[in-house]
Amino acid sequence: MIGIADLATVNAGLNATAAVLIGTGFYFIKQKNIQAHKACMLAAMVVSALFLTSYLVYHYNVGSVRFTKQGWMRDVYFPLLITHTVLAAVVLPMVLRTGFLAATGRFGKHVRIARWTFPVWMYVSVTGVIVYVMLCRL
């Protein structure tokens, strides 16, 4: 059985998986492979939804975890954490809108917003992993 403390590692794994799926989905649309693009992006949405649920369960039980390291790590950690958190809140409606526009066949508008959603979602997923490593593994 995994305990609540293990959820931090699960969450980082989900973030890393989302990053790979988003990157692969982007690669596929550049190859004009719409079905594979759709499959990767839908899978990334499912993984991100699982992440959000697990993240909420973890922090409901554990509260906030203090960063106690000093020096350059602190100077890197807090800007990363703040940009990660703000953009994570911003990207949620963007992902839903991007997916909704595709699901309703409005691909012109889909592409216009997706060009912002893609890098922001990627940044949030990758920095999620970095924040975890800096907080729990270094």
Q: Which of residues 8-67 bind ligand HEM (CB under 6 A)?
A: 26, 29, 34, 37-38, 41-42, 45
**Angle CA(3)–CA(7)–CA(8) in degrees, nearest 5?**
130
Distances (CA, A) of 68 to 22, 103, 123: 32, 45, 24
95 binds ligand HEM (CB under 6 A): yes
The answer to whether residues 65 and 135 touch, using CB atoms and an 8 Å cutoff, is yes
Minimum CB distance to ligand HEM, residue 75 (Å): 31
Interface residues with ligand HEM (CB under 6 A)? 26, 29, 34, 37-38, 41-42, 45, 95, 98-99, 102, 107, 110-111, 114-115, 117-118, 121
